[in-house]
């Protein structure tokens, strides 16, 4: 009964699979991140950098400066700290060279202490003073080129180039005389600029190393339920084009800690997209083999069976109700309760077609009679249920509806003689249509809440199905925006 539910549940877990995800191997899940999506990720990265880079301490700078009239003065700048970094304008581009992030309008505020001392032959004592200063860095430019490759199924991020260039700084001393001001500005502008440039470049490289080890430590298998795990091994190097970054993962289900599901799945090439990525941040493409592997795992694990002993109209599960349709059953077991033992007899056939998911589920239904505290199996009926599921993403999350396309049944065995299958089929078919389908649709209509990831979730999402593929095109949005 809950079959459609299981599938949609798996589906929604999959489509929100968050992993930022060349051989002749094939990936069954593809994640294409558009320029808009890369922009979003870049902004997230920069925002993170702005807050985690500071306070950043720079090494002390010391210099002897010749000041007219005064003479030679030793000036020391210490406790130089970048207090704030702010980026106004930045871009991200993908291409043959890698992922290029450029920051144009960067600014930074620094605080520091200054100190000087000098002695002249005119005076027998050493004169010194100290105070603090603030520095504003304007028009900071940063260029960062990253390479993203796949190594043994994990993503490997590395820095190809990283440079920081400070265009202009302005120094503001608290206290001090005007000669000092001139001395500091003239002698230290260049040194402070290059100290900022060096410190920023190093910090960025360190940041990327941290991010890279985070990516490398992503698991290759993600448990979805207690029996099934999704293989999230990356396949082939990420493809970088001018318009998007494409990642492929294996994407097949296997039984947890066991690989009983063999690799007999073969993806058809040429997934055509029904939604274009330009106006959405990501497009996730799921091949139908993903659903097939999931269904296979559940089938092999013997999870596809259920007992029906309760229905809205309980009298249906009583031999009395069936006395006209199966008189011999009533004769042998008058007024007894019935339970139905349903099990899926072979892995369901799943096909993704235009705008819908089509499933054919073969089921064996054993009719058990509860007579005098004994369970007696009296007959087994083989059924085949064909249904179409159409999925949609709305405010409620992932929703959908199911439609019964076809239903056939035949008698497998019977201990109560001949059964009038046509009559039984009519009754069961109407039960399916009036009880099961509305029940499943009500559950589907309520929707499955899409989980959020680190405060972000899918927004503005659309789902499409076409030959063998499901596409989800979506933006990412922070939770507060909903």
Ligand X SMILES: *[C@@H]1O[C@H](CO)[C@@H](O)[C@H](O)[C@H]1NC(C)=O
Binding site for ligand X (CB under 6 A): 25, 79, 81, 83-84, 89, 104, 107, 109, 111, 113, 136, 231, 233, 235, 250, 254, 259, 307, 315, 318, 320, 335-337, 341, 343, 366, 368, 375
463: buried, middle or exposed (CB in 10 Å: 19+, 13-18, 0-12)? buried
Q: Are 17 and 29 in contact (CB under 8 A)?
A: yes
Q: How far is the CB of 419 from ligand X (least distance, A)?
A: 19
Q: Which is nearer to ligand X, 139 or 451 (by Cβ)?
A: 139
Q: For residue 223, what are the contacts with CB-CB under 8 A and spacing of at least 6? A: 229, 230, 256
Which region, left, alpha or beta, applies to residue 18 given φ > 0 means left and ψ of -120 to 50 means alpha?
alpha
Q: How far is the CB of 164 from ligand X (least distance, A)?
A: 16
Which region, left, alpha or beta, applies to residue 468 given φ > 0 means left and ψ of -120 to 50 means alpha?
left
Q: Which is nearer to ligand X, 334 or 451 (by Cβ)?
A: 334
Q: Which is nearer to ligand X, 127 or 168 (by Cβ)?
A: 168
**Residue 143: Cβ within 10 Å count:** 15
N residues, the chain: 482
Q: Which is nearer to ligand X, 254 or 356 (by Cβ)?
A: 254
Beta-bridge partners for 178: none
Q: How far is the CB of 362 from ligand X (least distance, A)?
A: 13
Q: Which is nearer to ligand X, 113 or 388 (by Cβ)?
A: 113
DSSP state for residue 261 in the 8-state scheme:
S
Give the C-alpha separation, 332 to 316, whole Å: 17
Q: Are 162 and 207 in contact (CB under 8 A)?
A: no
Q: Which is nearer to ligand X, 117 or 355 (by Cβ)?
A: 117
Q: Which is nearer to ligand X, 217 or 315 (by Cβ)?
A: 315
Q: Which is nearer to ligand X, 415 or 449 (by Cβ)?
A: 415
Give the C-alpha separation, 331 to 319, whole Å: 9
Give the C-alpha separation, 356 to 172, whole Å: 67
Q: How far is the CB of 252 from ligand X (least distance, A)?
A: 7
Written as six digits, the tokens of 281 are 């941040």
Q: How far is the CB of 254 from ligand X (least distance, A)?
A: 5
Instruction: Please name the helix (run of DSSP H) or strand (run of DSSP E) that holds residue 35, with its range, or none.
Output: helix 35-52
Q: For the chain, first and last CA: distance in Å?
A: 33
Q: How far is the CB of 142 from ligand X (least distance, A)?
A: 12
Q: Which is nearer to ligand X, 2 or 307 (by Cβ)?
A: 307
Q: How far is the CB of 84 from ligand X (least distance, A)?
A: 5
Give the C-alpha separation, 22 to 153, whole Å: 11
Q: How far is the CB of 457 from ligand X (least distance, A)?
A: 27
Q: How far is the CB of 287 from ligand X (least distance, A)?
A: 13
Closest CA to 264 of 292, 286, 301: 292
Q: Which is nearer to ligand X, 235 or 476 (by Cβ)?
A: 235
Instruction: Please name the helix (run of DSSP H) or strand (run of DSSP E) that holds residue 129, with its range, or none.
Output: strand 127-151
Q: Are 435 and 408 in contact (CB under 8 A)?
A: no
Give the C-alpha separation, 332 to 329, whole Å: 5
**Residue in the block written with tokens 């100190």:** 115
Q: How far is the CB of 5 from ligand X (least distance, A)?
A: 21
Q: Which is nearer to ligand X, 114 or 448 (by Cβ)?
A: 114
Give the C-alpha separation, 346 to 258, whole Å: 20
**Residue in the block written with tokens 């980026």:** 87
Q: How far is the CB of 52 from ligand X (least distance, A)?
A: 16
């Amino acid at each position: 009964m809950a079959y459609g539910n299981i599938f949609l549940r798996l589906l929604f877990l999959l489509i929100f699979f968050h992993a930022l995800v060349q051989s002749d191997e094939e990936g069954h899940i593809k994640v294409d991140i558009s320029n808009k999506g890369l922009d979003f990720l870049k902004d997230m990265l920069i925002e993170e950098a702005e807050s985690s880079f500071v306070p950043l301490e720079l090494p002390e700078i010391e210099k002897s400066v010749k000041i007219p009239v005064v003479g030679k003065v030793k000036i020391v700048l210490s406790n130089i700290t970048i207090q704030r970094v702010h980026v106004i304008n930045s871009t991200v581009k993908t291409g043959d060279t890698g992922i290029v992030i450029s920051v144009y309008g960067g600014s930074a505020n620094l605080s520091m202490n200054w100190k000087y001392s000098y002695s002249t032959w005119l005076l027998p004592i050493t004169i010194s003073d100290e105070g603090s200063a603030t520095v504003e860095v304007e028009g900071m430019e940063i260029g960062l080129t990253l390479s993203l490759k796949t190594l043994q199924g994990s993503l490997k991020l590395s820095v190809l180039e990283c440079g920081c260039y400070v265009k202009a700084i302005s120094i503001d001393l608290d206290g001090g005389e005007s000669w000092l001001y001139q001395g500091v500005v003239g002698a230290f502008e260049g040194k402070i600029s290059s100290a900022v440039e060096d410190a920023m470049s190093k910090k960025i490289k360190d940041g990327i190393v941290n991010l890279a080890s985070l990516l490398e430590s992503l698991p290759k298998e993600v448990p979805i339920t207690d029996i099934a795990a999704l293989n999230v091994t990356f396949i082939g190097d990420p493809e970088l084009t001018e318009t998007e970054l494409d990642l492929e993962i294996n994407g097949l289900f296997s039984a947890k800690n066991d690989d009983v599901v063999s690799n007999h799945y073969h993806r058809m090439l040429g997934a055509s997209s029904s939604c274009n990525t330009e106006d959405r941040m990501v497009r996730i493409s799921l091949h139908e083999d993903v659903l097939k592997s999931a269904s296979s795992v559940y089938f092999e694990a013997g999870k596809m069976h259920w007992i029906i002993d309760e229905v809205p109209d309980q009298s249906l599960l009583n031999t009395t109700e069936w006395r006209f349709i199966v008189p011999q059953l009533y004769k042998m077991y008058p007024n007894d309760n019935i339970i139905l033992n349903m099990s899926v007899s072979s892995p369901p056939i799943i096909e993704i077609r235009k705008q819908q998911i089509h499933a054919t589920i073969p089921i064996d239904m054993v009719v058990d009679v509860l007579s005098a505290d004994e369970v007696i199996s009296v007959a087994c009926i083989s059924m085949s249920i064909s249904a179409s599921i159409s999925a949609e993403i709305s405010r409620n999350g992932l929703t959908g509806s199911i439609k019964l396309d076809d239903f056939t049944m035949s008698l497998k065995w019977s201990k109560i003689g001949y059964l009038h299958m046509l009559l039984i089929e009519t009754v069961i078919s109407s039960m399916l249509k009036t009880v099961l389908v509305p029940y499943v649709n009500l559950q589907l209509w309520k929707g499955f809440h899409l989980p959020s990831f680190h405060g972000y979730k899918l927004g503005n999402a659309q789902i499409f199905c076409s030959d063998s593929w499901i596409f989800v095109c979506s933006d990412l949005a922070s939770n507060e925006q909903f």
